Amino acid sequence: MKKIASILILVFAFTFSTQAQKNRNEKSPQLSIEQHTVLAVKKMTLALDLTKKQQNELKPLLRAQGAEKKAAMQKRKEARKNKPTADEIFAMKNKQLDSQIAFKSKMKDILNKEQFDKFEKMKKGRKMKGNKMMKKKKMMMEKKGKKNRKEHKKE
């Protein structure tokens, strides 16, 4: 009886782990730039109490930013194939920072003082959350690396 129970537990554990992996590997459908823009404007409207005029001013700005990000992502994918030079990396980062500065100044023009302060706090929160996730991911990779090194030493 104990053997049957332990076998059932193993089967369930195996089934759940394969299902979790299958769900993780499935990619969610990609939203268009326009869909991302609409969702971002609505989220900002809820968070910052934007007026209709502000919403209409933000849409083209966010749409352009989304298109720029998509193009940059494609460029990074291509750059992985052949390693970029230091000058190319500098040019990419310089362009990215220039676009961030331009975006921030345009946001300052569209939003009032209170809204802009709240926007900056939201931005910092997202950055902190991203940094936290990156640290967690890095630690997981280090643990995995240590585990692999231990296994190689045993052999």
Report, as an integer, the average pLDDT of 19-41.
76
Termini Cα distance of the chain? 38
* Range name among 4-8, 29-33, 48-52 with the lowest pLDDT average: 4-8
The secondary element (H helix, E strand) that includes residue 20 is: helix 2-25
pLDDT tops 70 at residue 134: yes
Torsion of CA 96, 99, 100, 101, to 10 degrees: 120
| Amino acid 5: pLDDT | 66
Report, as an integer, the average pLDDT of 20-27.
56
Query: pTM of the prediction?
Result: 0.63
Residues 6+ apart with CB under 8 A from 103: 61, 65
> How does pLDDT run across 80-92, given as a tens digit for each residue?
788 888 898 898 8
Sign of CA dihedral 52, 126, 95, 113: positive
Q: Which of 104, 118, 108 is nearest to 45 (CA)?
A: 118
d(CA 148, CA 54): 53
Contact 68, 99 (CB under 8 A): yes
